[in-house]
Amino acid sequence: MASVDAAIHAPLGLLAELTHRCPLGCPYCSNPLALDAPKDELDTASWARVFREAAGLGILQVHLSGGEPASRRDLADIVGSAHEAGLYSNLITSGVGLTGTRLRELADNGLDHVQVSIQDAEPQSADRIAGYDGAFARKREMAAEVVRLGLPLTVNIVVHRANIDRIEEMVALALSLGAHRVEIAHVQYYGWALKNRGALMPSREQAERAMETTGALRKQHHGRIVIDSALPDYYARYPKPCMGGWGRRSLNVTPSGKVLPCHAAEAIPGLTFWSVTEYSLADIWRHSPAFNAFRGTDWMAEPCRSCPKQREDFGGCRCQAFLLTGDARAADPVCHLSPLHDEVERIAAIQTDAFEYRRFRTPVVAP
């Protein structure tokens, strides 16, 4: 254990999933299918303790997420405690459920940045994707309020088959809202998004066109808005360096206090996650079995084991490797060197129509 311990660098970021409650039902939600119940959520004081421990561990930024963090009535206190701990706080919100008054409270309590998601540039389509009538209008109002308060705004655009042909319009919308940064996030297939994969997956042609459009927009808006994006990974040649490497940069605390190396890690069977209700964050970061499971390169099998890129992409995503191959130690099969790479192409070609919206209780669908 000592050798692993010595090599462990301090994490940079903490994703705090304050709640799984959310007014929206986005079919691409990355939350797990089994959502944490409101009664199991960590209380205000526990989050304050977690933030102090995070700062002590060297963490610089906390991302307040969910679900919809505004579903927590104590959000202003939670923001205040992150600020008191010395952390840079980032609110990741749907924009629904945040009034001007509440936003002002958050700003007064030291909130540093707001990221709001939009589902499409067309109101009707946006509301259909979110599964919530009127969401688009409320997001616009809320984004305007963020800018009025002088807080920096990022617009997050989750891209999939239903909106991929309107990237230009969505970036224009982000600019008109006063955002300084836009994230073009192609759907990643975990949790609810995996369940809806057939209805969300764009075609290869659409994905390639989207990458070209994004490149052109980046040039066009240079100096005005920062455009961050990644290739939709089912169509990539090499895998993404998921989380910057397992247990290397960040950790994720679930609403009930479990600490995960990434938000999808519970998809991998056999991993033991420790909770902030039982261990300190420092102990978890260094010694939790789940964090040490895929640290470094010793766990790797071929083709990763002898791959010169193993320290660039860390073998890709462990969750995706498990979900697509059944083996969490396998190379992420989006890598063209994976023997199962062709299977990814085959899966990507499967298309279905209907969304299954993310809700607390999933309707029982007849076989």
Partner 1 sequence: MTGAAPQAAIPSDAKPRLPRGVRLTHNEAQGGWVLLAPERIFKADAVAVEILKRCTGEATFAAIVDDLAANFKAPRERIETDVGNLLRSLADKRLLEL
Per-residue b or e along 70-102, where b marks 16 or more CB atoms closer than 10 Å to that residue's CB: bbbeebbbbbbbbbebebbbbbbbbbbbbeeeb
* Minimum distance, C-beta of residue 289 to partner 1, in the bound complex (Å): 23
Q: Is 250 within 8 Å of 10 (Cβ atoms)?
A: no
Contact residues: partner 1, CB under 8 A: 10, 12-13, 57-58, 60-61, 63, 88, 90, 112-113, 115, 150-152, 154, 180-181, 183, 222-226
* Minimum distance, C-beta of residue 180 to partner 1, in the bound complex (Å): 4
Say if residue 329 is exposed, middle or buried (CB neighbours under 10 Å; 0-12, 13-18, 19+): middle
Comparison of 10 and 33: residue with beta carbon closer to partner 1: 10
Tokens found for residue 49 = 């303790």
Closest CA to 179 of 154, 156, 157, 158: 154
- CA-to-CA dists, residue 164 to 21, 110, 157, 194, 237, angstroms: 27, 35, 10, 18, 20
* Minimum distance, C-beta of residue 153 to partner 1, in the bound complex (Å): 8
Comparison of 74 and 112: residue with beta carbon closer to partner 1: 112
DSSP string, 290-327: HHHTT-SSTT--TTTTT-TTHHHHTTS-HHHHHHHHS-
To the nearest 10°, report the CA torsion of 97, 99, 102, 107.
110
* Minimum distance, C-beta of residue 115 to partner 1, in the bound complex (Å): 7
Comparison of 105 and 165: residue with beta carbon closer to partner 1: 105
Comparison of 10 and 37: residue with beta carbon closer to partner 1: 10
Contacts of 229 (CB under 8 A, 6+ apart): 183, 184, 185, 186, 211, 214
* Minimum distance, C-beta of residue 226 to partner 1, in the bound complex (Å): 5
Comparison of 151 and 337: residue with beta carbon closer to partner 1: 151
Comparison of 209 and 249: residue with beta carbon closer to partner 1: 249
* Minimum distance, C-beta of residue 225 to partner 1, in the bound complex (Å): 7
* Minimum distance, C-beta of residue 163 to partner 1, in the bound complex (Å): 22
Comparison of 287 and 305: residue with beta carbon closer to partner 1: 287
